[in-house]
């Protein structure tokens, strides 16, 4: 008596038993650890500070792709508003030139484009069809417009080593 189902079942069991043996699921190997035989350097705190300052003085410009994540808090009401993370680009040049461009999350259209020469900034916001010009050191804190009162010098201070 011929049973095609039994033959197919045996072939399936044989395949299932040999599949893990083929090495397709995973592979394990030993990791060769590499140790340096170089002597360790020693330095005082002042020598480290001088080294960092020397390296920072060599940097004249910077270009970076950043993810901008902002939050605005109101101490009176105890509420914090988190804004969606957006992709952006930062271009900075000594002494205080800065350009920062933010892109919308999905469509990557320009959300804002800001440029500063250290004294004055210009901000273009295409979705709201607004163009703002102001001074970097102006203190015009407005509780209802916290995110709009961020100045380029705040960003410069965060990016550069003093």
Distances (CA, A) of 136 to 120, 125, 127: 5, 18, 23
Do 100 and 88 contact (CB within 8 A), yes or no? yes
pTM of the prediction? 0.58
Mean per-residue pLDDT over the chain, rounded: 80
Q: Tens of pLDDT along 27-80?
A: 667 778 888 888 888 999 999 999 988 988 888 888 989 888 877 777 777 777
Predicted local confidence at residue 25, as pLDDT = 55
Q: What is the DSSP letter of 105?
A: T
CA–CA separation, 147 vs 70, rounded Å? 8
Do 152 and 98 contact (CB within 8 A), yes or no? yes
Confidence of residue 105 (pLDDT cuts 50, 70, 90): confident
Instruction: Summarize the confidence of residues 80-89 as an average pLDDT.
Output: 82
Instruction: Give yes or no for residue 143 having a pLDDT over 60.
Output: no
Instruction: Give yes or no for residue 147 having a pLDDT over 60.
Output: no
Confidence of residue 128 (pLDDT cuts 50, 70, 90): confident
């Amino acid at each position: 008596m011929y049973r095609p189902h039994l033959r197919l079942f045996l072939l399936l069991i044989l395949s299932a038993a040999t599949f893990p043996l083929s090495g397709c699921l995973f592979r394990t190997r030993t990791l060769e650890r590499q140790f340096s035989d170089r002597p360790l350097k020693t330095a005082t705190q002042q020598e480290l500070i001088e080294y960092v300052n020397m390296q920072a003085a060599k940097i004249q410009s910077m270009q970076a792709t950043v993810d901008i994540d902002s939050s605005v808090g109101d101490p009176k009401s105890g509420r914090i508003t988190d804004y969606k993370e957006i992709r952006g680009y930062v271009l900075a040049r000594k002494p205080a030139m800065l350009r920062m461009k933010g892109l919308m999350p999905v469509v990557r259209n320009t959300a804002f484009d800001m440029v500063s020469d250290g004294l004055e900034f210009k901000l273009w916001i295409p979705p709201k069809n607004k163009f703002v010009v102001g001074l970097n050191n102006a203190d015009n804190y407005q509780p209802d417009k916290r995110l709009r009162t961020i100045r380029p010098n705040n960003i410069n201070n965060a990016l550069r080593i003093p």
